[in-house]
Structure 1
Amino acid sequence: MSITAQSVWNNCLNFIKDNIQPQAYKTWFEPIVAVKLTDNALSVQVPSKFFYEWLEEHYVKILKVALTKELGETAKLVYIIKMENTYGNKQPFTERIPSSNRSSVKAQDVDVPLKNKDRELRNPFVIPGIRNVKIESQLNPNYNFDNFLEGDSNRLARSAGLAVSAKPGGTSFNPLLIFGGVGLGKTHLAHAIGVDIKDKYPEKTVLYISAEKFTQQYIDSVKKNNRNDFIHFYQLIDVLIIDDVQFLSGKSGTQDVFFHIFNHLHQNGKQVILTSDKAPVDMQDIEQRLLSRFKWGLSAELQTPDFETRVSILKNKLYRDGVEMPDDIIEYVAKNIKSNIRELEGAIISLIAQSSFNKKEINIELAKQVVEKFVKNTKREVSIDYIQKVVSDYFQMDVDTLQSKTRKRHIVQARQLAMFFAKKLTKASLASIGSQIGKRDHATVLHACKTVDNLSSTDKQFRKYVEDLTKKLSV
Structure 2
Amino acid sequence: MATVDRGLWQQVIQQVVATGGHLIRPWFTQLEPISLEHGLLEIEVPGKAEQQYCQQHATRLFTEAAQAATGRLIGVCFLTAAQKESQGEHPTQVEVALPEPPVALNDDYAFETFVTGPCNRLAHAASVAVSESPGRTYNPLFLHGSVGLGKTHLLQATCRKIAQDNPRASLSILSCETFVNHFIEAVEKGQLHEFRYRYRHADVLAIDDIQFLSDHEQTQEEFFHTFNTLYQAQKQIILSSDRSPSEIPHLEERLVSRFNWGLVARIDRPCYETRIAILHKKARLRSVELPEDVVCFIASLVDSNTRELEGAISKVAMLAKVADRSIDLRLAEEALGAEPVRTTKDVTIESILAAVTTRFNVRLADLQSKKRSRSIALPRQVCMFLARTLTRHSLEEIGGYFGGRDHSTVLHANKTIDRLRQRDPQLQAAIDRITQEIQAAT
Q: Taking structure 1 as the reference length, what is the TM-score of the superposition?
A: 0.55
Letter in 1 for 2:106: N
Quick check: 1:148–1:188 contact (8 Å CA) kept in 2? yes
Residue 398 of structure 2 is aligned to residue 442 of structure 1: no
Closer, same or farther in 2 for the Cα pair 1:203/1:381, shift >3 Å?
Answer: farther
Residue 359 of structure 2 is aligned to residue 403 of structure 1: yes
Letter in 1 for 2:121: R
Instruction: Provide the rounded CA distance (Å) in 1 between the counterparts of 2:134 and 2:236.
Output: 6
Residues 332-343 of structure 1 aligned to structure 2 (within 5 Å): 332-343=297-308
Q: 1:158 aligns with which of 91, 104, 124?
A: 124
Q: 2:104 — aligned with what?
A: 138
Closer, same or farther in 2 for the Cα pair 1:343/1:197, shift >3 Å?
Answer: same
Instruction: Provide the rounded CA distance (Å) in 2 between the counterparts of 1:328 and 1:448.
Output: 33
Q: 2:192 — aligned with what?
A: 227
Residues 420-431 of structure 1 aligned to structure 2 (within 5 Å): none
Deviation at 1:372, TM superposition (A): 2.9
Q: Taking structure 2 as the reference length, what is the TM-score of the superposition?
A: 0.58
Structure 1, gaps ≥5 residues long: 1-134, 408-431, 451-468
Residues 96-245 of structure 1 aligned to structure 2 (within 5 Å): 138-171=104-137, 173-245=138-210
Deviation at 1:330, TM superposition (A): 1.0
Closer, same or farther in 2 for the Cα pair 1:311/1:297, shift >3 Å?
Answer: same
Q: Deviations over 1:58-110 (max 9, x none)?
A: xxxxxxxxxxxxxxxxxxxxxxxxxxxxxxxxxxxxxxxxxxxxxxxxxxxxx
Deviation at 1:170, TM superposition (A): 1.7
Instruction: Provide the rounded CA distance (Å) in 2 between the counterparts of 1:214 and 1:232.
Output: 13
Deviation at 1:382, TM superposition (A): 7.1
Q: 1:320 aligns with which of 269, 279, 285?
A: 285
Q: 1:271 aligns with which of 228, 236, 241?
A: 236
Instruction: Provide the rounded CA distance (Å) in 2 between the counterparts of 1:384 and 1:291.
Output: 37
Deviation at 1:208, TM superposition (A): 0.7
Quick check: 1:241–1:272 contact (8 Å CA) kept in 2? yes
Closer, same or farther in 2 for the Cα pair 1:290/1:142, shift >3 Å?
Answer: same
Deviation at 1:281, TM superposition (A): 2.1
Deviation at 1:207, TM superposition (A): 1.4
Structure 2, gaps ≥5 residues long: 1-100, 364-413
Q: Deviations over 1:100-125 (max 9, x none)?
A: xxxxxxxxxxxxxxxxxxxxxxxxxx
Q: 2:93 — aligned with what?
A: none
Letter in 2 for 1:320: L
Instruction: Provide the rounded CA distance (Å) in 1 between the counterparts of 2:290 and 2:259.
Output: 43
| CA RMSD between the two structures | 3.7
Quick check: 2:122–2:265 contact (8 Å CA) kept in 1? yes
Deviation at 1:406, TM superposition (A): 5.0
Instruction: Provide the rounded CA distance (Å) in 1 between the counterparts of 2:181 and 2:345.
Output: 35
Give 3-state SS (helix, strand or coil) of 1:304's partner.
Answer: coil
Instruction: Provide the rounded CA distance (Å) in 1 between the counterparts of 2:230 and 2:132.
Output: 18
Instruction: Provide the rounded CA distance (Å) in 2 between the counterparts of 1:220 and 1:364.
Output: 52
Deviation at 1:370, TM superposition (A): 2.4
Deviation at 1:447, TM superposition (A): 9.8
Q: 1:372 — aligned with what?
A: 337
Quick check: 1:137–1:206 contact (8 Å CA) kept in 2? no
Deviation at 1:313, TM superposition (A): 1.3
Closer, same or farther in 2 for the Cα pair 1:232/1:155, shift >3 Å?
Answer: same
Quick check: 1:168–1:271 contact (8 Å CA) kept in 2? yes
Instruction: Provide the rounded CA distance (Å) in 1 between the counterparts of 2:200 and 2:327.
Output: 53
Q: 2:215 — aligned with what?
A: 250
Quick check: 1:250–1:285 contact (8 Å CA) kept in 2? yes
Work out which structure has the larger RCO, using CA pairs closer than 8 Å and 6 or more positions apart in sequence.
2
Q: 2:88 — aligned with what?
A: none
